[in-house]
């Protein structure tokens, strides 16, 4: 029993290291965690002092805890029981599915990743690609929003750049939570996007249990005061036009809203426009059922990036014109429901229509969209540069008089239009012709794509 046993030295070292790790885990790590947590709380406190919409405790809750809360919410338990009966599966199987869905949806928000890395990267990328312009149609109304209200930014969806641009421009107001499609569930995008507070959704899923879990998460985030960014069109516009609202996320918010509760929900319409949408040709091809393979998309992306890197190295790189964002007039959900009677589905549909009208009014006029409208409406085969410039100026003043917006200063209108003409020539949407400039017949669809961005403004949408 007390005999000496020979043990290899490396075993002694391994045992010693494991013992040391256990000691650190039990004694030192709690102290370090407490210290780091204290510093993080101080940073969050300083952030909340400068943000218009403070980061709520819900958003800072550990992901593991949020997954447990969601998966064991009474409404989810009821959904699990229904799923168990409908699919004839044991309770444990149905519950495991709900937990899996919860883990898939709930993000792992990091304030450091969002503000120290995400917003700075968004600002750098936005300003490298575009001349960024920001405008408020009613900044006073935005400042008067109840600090306790949940703010939902509702915007048109023209490009995947929308996420980057709005993150940068809304950074001084709050940290936004986006609903992101399945395209982003690949490494390393998934980890990065989740740390930015975005949650993943299966847009085409018809699984009722999944839908119930997603709806409950959206409702819990709304009840918790999380500022959100929603694209009610349900995806990128393929031909550039403003699309009617799809009511998925909006219906979840309305269904979980208590008009007599202490927290209102305020929708802020946001209009985005670009002189160049990075994916414009890909979107047009998909609208025409000419879907490219993954390899073709990858080769196109690599070629695009490589071309512009070479241009930058040669000193010939030019930004892609203007990118502009307008924040419109806020809409209180409580006030809307008080002034509307009817079935929930009908009220949600009316709400979606009203929000999209306000989003449409917020879309800013930019040179390329303006010029595309002018040249497509010009009946002659060619037009001089001077005549095109004059017609664009006249059309701009007409739209502004009807209540449209541009966030380019009046003294810069002439220069911006000239830059827009150069942009159309550079991309060969306009080509030199007899007696002036002519529309390139091969690029009519692309011109129409950009004209569609402000087509609703010409139609006098009310």
pLDDT of residue 191: 77
Is a pLDDT exceeding 70 seen at residue 293? no
Instruction: Please report the pLDDT score of residue 199 as a whole number.
Output: 85
pLDDT at 225 over 60: yes
Would you say 381 and 354 are in contact if contact means Cβ atoms under 8 Å apart? Answer: no
The whole model's pTM is what? 0.84
Give the pLDDT confidence score for residue 11 in this predicted structure. 61
For the stretch 260-283, pLDDT in tens is 888 999 999 999 999 999 989 888
Most confident among 47-51, 363-367, 377-381 (mean pLDDT): 363-367
- pLDDT tens, residue by residue, 378-399: 877 889 999 999 999 999 999 9
Q: Grade residue 300 by pLDDT with cuts at 50, 70 and 90.
A: low
Comparing CA positions, the residue from 277, 267, 461, 274 lying closest to residue 360 is 461
Q: What is the mean pLDDT of residues 323-328?
A: 92
Q: How far apart are CA 189 and CA 286, in angstroms?
A: 23
Phi and psi dihedrals of 158, rounded to 5?
-105, -30
| Pair 229, 177: CB distance under 8 Å | yes
For residue 204, the model assigns a pLDDT of: 79
pLDDT confidence of residue 5? 65
Does 295 have pLDDT greater than 80? no
The more confidently predicted of residues 150 and 8 is 150
The per-residue pLDDT of the chain, averaged, comes to: 83
pLDDT level of residue 461 (50, 70, 90 thresholds): very low
Band of residue 13 on the pLDDT scale cut at 50, 70, 90: confident
Report the share of the chain in percent with pLDDT over 70. Answer: 81
pLDDT number for residue 21: 66
Q: Provide the percentage of residues in the chain whose pLDDT is more than 90.
A: 45
Q: Which of 2-6, 77-81, 87-91 has the lowest mean pLDDT?
A: 2-6
pLDDT tens column, 184-219: 677 667 777 888 888 888 877 888 999 999 999 999
DSSP string, 112-157: IIIIIIIHHHHHHHHHHH-EEEEEES-HHHHHTS-TTSEEEEEE--
Q: Is the pLDDT of residue 103 over 50?
A: yes
Block residue for tokens 């609208």? 287
Domains defined for the chain, CATH in brackets: 104-278+320-362 (3.40.1130.10), 367-458 (1.10.10)
DSSP letters, 42-107, are: HHHHHHHHH-SSPPPHHHHS-HHHHHHHHHT-HHHHHHHHHHHHHHT--HHHHHHHHHHHHHHH--
Residues 55-84 have a mean pLDDT of 89
Report the pLDDT value the prediction gives residue 34, as an integer from 0 to 100. 45
């Amino acid at each position: 029993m007390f005999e000496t046993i020979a043990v290899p030295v490396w075993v002694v070292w391994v045992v010693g290291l494991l013992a040391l790790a256990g000691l650190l885990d039990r004694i030192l790590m709690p102290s370090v965690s407490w210290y780091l947590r204290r510093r993080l709380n101080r940073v969050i406190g300083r952030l909340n002092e400068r943000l218009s919409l403070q980061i709520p405790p819900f958003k800072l809750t550990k992901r593991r805890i949020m997954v447990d809360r969601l998966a064991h919410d009474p409404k989810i338990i009821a959904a699990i029981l229904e799923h168990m009966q409908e699919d004839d599966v044991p309770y444990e199987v149905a519950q495991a599915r709900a937990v899996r869905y919860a883990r898939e949806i709930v993000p792992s928000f990091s304030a450091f990743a969002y503000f120290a890395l995400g917003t700075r990267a968004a600002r750098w990328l936005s300003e490298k690609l575009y001349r960024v312009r920001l405008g408020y149609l009613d900044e006073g109304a935005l400042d008067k929003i109840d600090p306790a209200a949940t703010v939902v930014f509702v915007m048109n969806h023209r490009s995947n750049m929308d996420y980057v641009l709005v993150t940068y421009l809304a950074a001084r107001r709050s940290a936004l939570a986006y609903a992101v499609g399945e395209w982003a569930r690949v490494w390393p995008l998934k980890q990065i996007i989740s740390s930015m507070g975005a949650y993943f959704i299966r847009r085409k899923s018809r699984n009722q249990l999944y839908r119930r879990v997603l709806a409950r998460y959206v409702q819990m985030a709304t009840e918790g005061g999380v500022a959100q960014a929603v694209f009610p069109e349900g995806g990128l516009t393929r031909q550039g036009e403003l699309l009617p609202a799809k009511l998925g996320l909006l219906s979840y918010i309305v269904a979980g809203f208590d008009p007599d509760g202490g927290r209102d929900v305020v929708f802020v319409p946001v209009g985005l426009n670009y002189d160049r949408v990075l994916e414009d040709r890909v979107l047009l091809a998909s609208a025409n059922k000419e879907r490219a393979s993954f390899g073709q998309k990858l080769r196109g992306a690599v070629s695009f990036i490589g071309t512009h890197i070479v241009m930058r190295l040669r000193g010939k790189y030019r930004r892609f014109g203007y990118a502009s964002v307008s924040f419109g007039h806020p809409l209180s959900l409580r006030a809307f429901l008080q002034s509307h009677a009817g079935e929930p589905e009908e009220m949600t549909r009316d709400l979606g229509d009203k929000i999209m009208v306000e989003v449409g009014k917020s879309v800013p006029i930019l040179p390329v969209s303006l010029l595309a409208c002018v040249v497509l409406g010009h009946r002659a085969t060619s037009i001089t540069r001077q005549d095109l410039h004059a017609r664009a100026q006249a059309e701009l003043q007409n739209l502004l008089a009807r209540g449209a917006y541009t966030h380019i200063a009046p003294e810069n209108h002439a220069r911006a239009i000239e830059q827009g003409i150069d942009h159309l020539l550079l991309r060969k949407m306009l080509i030199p012709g007899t007696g002036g400039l002519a529309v390139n017949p091969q690029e009519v669809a692309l011109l129409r794509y950009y004209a569609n961005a402000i087509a609703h403004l010409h139609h006098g949408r009310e």
